[in-house]
Amino acid sequence: MAVDAVLIAGPTTSGKSALALALAEEINGAVINADSMQVYTETRILTARPTDEDTSRAPHLLYGHVSVNETYSAGRYQAEAAHALRTTRESGRVPIFAGGTGMYFGVLTDGLAIIPAVPAGVREVAEVRRAQMGADAFHAELAKRDPVAGEKLRPSDTQRTLRAWEVFEATGRPLSEWQQEMSEPLLTNMNVARFIISPPRDVLHQRINHRFDQMLTAGAMEEATALESPSPTAAKIIGLRELRSAAEGTIPLEEAVEQAKARTRQYAKRQMTWFRHRMADWNWAEAQELSNILPLLMDAAA
């Protein structure tokens, strides 16, 4: 039986996008983004988004459709991915989700915690309170309100401690309770092939270094310095902060490049940790040559 959808996850530079495109050409598929950074319009180079040549070879959905000035959430991804899934299947194509954001794959296979929207003012209050109290005291206060979050999160985990604090402040319930109430997965009752592309670590590091050098040649510096007021989520794009610092003369370009490469390697490590802990039952493809992996994907989709 042919699959209803194919999921291709992997750390940055693992080659998942190229594999998804090659598979799409073989099985009449459409590639749907599952990467939180590749949604942004103005950062094609820095986020290694598919090129115009790529998108001419097969349909690509949910890439580069959000301004860096907007805050993008898993909830918004859920709604947009549901629409992309439906339109792709209605067109007679096979949906191929590709990316490196584990949470987005969770939306597809496990559902999403149904958490009410938090007013913007509550986040602002949380940020001021943390700045005034300090990270440790703020974490201690959070632990009194939400012991599960207090035990799970480190004081230095700024975004997650703020999130847990603001949810309790806005709803009166711990975030951990809300997270137990999940929406239905998008791929419920579907035959799904799931793959994680996992090259050897030394190969992955070589690709990371090489790709950032290619980004610089392609205009990553110009792209980084052209951005104005990126949202907190877009500001996490690796290389953005480092290249802007170099452009401002704060650090030498060579140092900025090395910092960006090191951050990318650290990010890839975090991605792999997520995959191992939460997606261990997926099919792991560890072949060094991507051409050796494509037949596995094609067999699974047949």
Q: What is the pLDDT of residue 137?
A: 94
Dmax (CA) of the chain = 59
96 and 30 in contact (C-beta within 8 Å)?
A: yes
CATH superfamily of 5-112+183-301: P-loop containing nucleotide triphosphate hydrolases (3.40.50.300)
Q: Helices (H), strands (E): how many in the chain?
A: 14, 6
- Which residues lie below 8 Å from residue 122, measured CB to CB, with a gap of 6+? 166, 169, 170
Q: Output the pLDDT for position 1.
A: 47
Give domain limits for the chain: 5-112+183-301, 120-178
CB of 30 closer than 8 Å to CB of 59: yes
Q: What is the pLDDT of residue 287?
A: 67
Q: Which residues of the chain have pLDDT under 50?
A: 1
CATH class entry, domain 120-178? mainly alpha
DSSP state letter for 235:
G
Rounded CA-CA distance 61/1 in Å is 25
Alpha-carbon distance of 92 to 175, in angstroms, equals 40
The per-residue pLDDT for 131 is 92
